[in-house]
A = this chain, B = another copy of it.
């Protein structure tokens, strides 16, 4: 017989009763009722019940008799109605079954190391990664990959319609170790020379603009050799685009339209439009972070002035040390117990927010450990400013500004979660703009780019570039959805002299500039149009659409947090000849996989 299916699993219904069909797939469940054997046959489209009856075909029955979980078979048979009472309403094909006339055994199977039940899998993630192909067969992962397919498809179609050329840039490039570490690839032809895998196609896409491509687009593989945090992968993909002769407002409009299309086509969700926009300063002020979750309010308020004007000594110290005081009003929060309040306080300690207080407004007045520090008038004023009504709660915190912000960002998210303020089906997008161009490096020794060194300074701030670079804003725009940064972009520098100046401010030596970016500076001199672009983390976008928090769920063959592939056992030692051919020597080490 022929193993090609006439119907997919999950496709047969009552209207096919009487038809002869061929199905092929995996034995999911098998029940031996003595005279009859029932098999649930599964493929990625669904499940169909087969009946093996020796009266119908003894050869087929023999196969059905021997069959075990995950054997691959093809069957030819007749669609019949299930006996009354035997229907399975949970199954799309639950009213029918197929009486097998012929069966072909295509592959036997060892017993899987974990249950391939669709609904739950209790195996440890390491085992699931090692047997990725079995985990896929369960179903949900493949559905995630179909969403991935869908996102790429919608993105490509959208940018194609808008005149963007999909242009593939090289993966064997040059090391420009700005930002993260590069993955290196030794060259065999030129000993001691290395390619680097791209952290992003940034320079290539800008060179496309120099080359007159006008609008470039790509879903590009990117690589970063970082110590992996959760939800990072050493290789990932970004939806990457760049356009010439446009302004930031054009790209924001375009992306607004793109996201509206994407959310509609992928999950039928109507994104509210236009996407809100907030400047970096205001954003950090109000949300304590540049990645705010706008699905809930809980806005932060600066209370420095109120503290300074009050009699209270409580937060004075924080103020006198140059710190700030922020407060957040929690509607209905006065019902929190002392224990709950203490737990919120404790959760702020790791962030360095050591000055902390809370004030409840009850019907009968203010209640708090700190009320005694304030006059009734001061409390009234505060309540009005913070729009506190009876039943509400105010959290106060004081410390150095970044600490308060970080701590209160955490507090906001925790409160929203605890109070059920977040509708998981909701999406809140926001553009965060006007980031600072530079920040101080961790060692506070030198400037580093907040985005990357090709970001254009804000024209209004150009005059301060050399005198007060930390005060210079950039023409940048990050896209944040539900508190997660999914995209970021900027107007780029198209003037060679300005680009050189930025490199100098970043304390790159002439030699470093020339070695790493010489070719790029050279190119900028030959007539570069103003250009700008953006890049989206493909994986994060898919995670958002699927509502999953695990990046490994959206990548077909992901790596662990230690950047290893448990299924194929990579990285791995290689032969001495291979290393000799590359003229490199590797320090001896034990084989990780033995």
Contact = CB atoms under 8 A, between A and B. Distances in A.
Interface of A: 2-5, 24-26, 43-45, 70-72, 74, 106-110, 112, 131-137, 142, 145-146, 148-149, 152-153, 156, 160, 165-175, 177, 181-197, 203-204, 207-208, 210-214, 221, 223, 225, 234-235, 237, 245-247, 250, 494-495, 515, 518-520, 523, 525-530, 555-557, 559, 562-565, 567-575, 578, 581-589, 591-592
B588 A192 contact: yes
A174 B565 contact: yes
10 contacts: A43-B214, A44-B212, A109-B527, A136-B212, A182-B578, A184-B185, A185-B197, A194-B571, A519-B567, A519-B569
A563 B565 CA distance: 28
A234 B225 CA distance: 22
Given A26-B527, A133-B523, A584-B587, A245 B74 contact: yes
Given A133-B211, A190-B592, A221-B221, 16 more contacts: A3-B245, A43-B214, A110-B525, A135-B211, A137-B212, A170-B235, A172-B565, A177-B578, A191-B589, A192-B589, A193-B571, A194-B574, A195-B571, A515-B572, A520-B568, A523-B567
A183 to B, nearest CB: 5
B195 A570 contact: yes
A284 to B, nearest CB: 31
A221 B171 contact: yes
A136 B586 contact: no
A574 B26 contact: no
B190 A223 contact: no
A343 B165 CA distance: 48
Contacts of A172: 183, 223, 234-235, 559, 563, 565, 570-571
A438 B153 CA distance: 40
Tell me which of A135, A210, A235, A518 has the highest count of chain B C-beta atoms within 10 A of its own C-beta.
Answer: A210
A188 B197 CA distance: 14
A394 B338 CA distance: 105
B584 A529 contact: no
Given A72-B527, A203-B568, A187 B563 contact: yes
B173 A565 contact: yes
A526 B149 contact: no
Contacts of A108: 527
Nearest to A221: B171
A559 B523 contact: no
A18 B182 CA distance: 55
Contacts of A592: 190, 193
Contacts of A167: 145, 148-149, 556
A563 B193 CA distance: 12
A183 B203 CA distance: 23
A-B interface, 7 closest residue pairs, ranked by CB to CB distance from nearest: A136-B211, A109-B527, A70-B527, A193-B571, A133-B211, A174-B570, A187-B571
Contacts of A185: 183-185, 197, 571
Contacts of A43: 212, 214
Contact of A153 (B72, B110, B166): B166
A339 B343 CA distance: 99
Nearest to A516: B572
A71 B149 contact: no
A74 B528 CA distance: 12
B573 A194 contact: yes
A79 to B, nearest CB: 19
A107 B173 CA distance: 27
A185 B198 CA distance: 13
Nearest to A557: B170
Given A188-B181, A211-B134, A165 B153 contact: no
A492 to B, nearest CB: 12
A574 B184 contact: yes
A156 B149 CA distance: 10
A496 to B, nearest CB: 9
Contacts of A190: 564, 571, 589, 592
Nearest to A211: B136
A563 B495 CA distance: 31
Contacts of A184: 185-186, 574, 578, 582
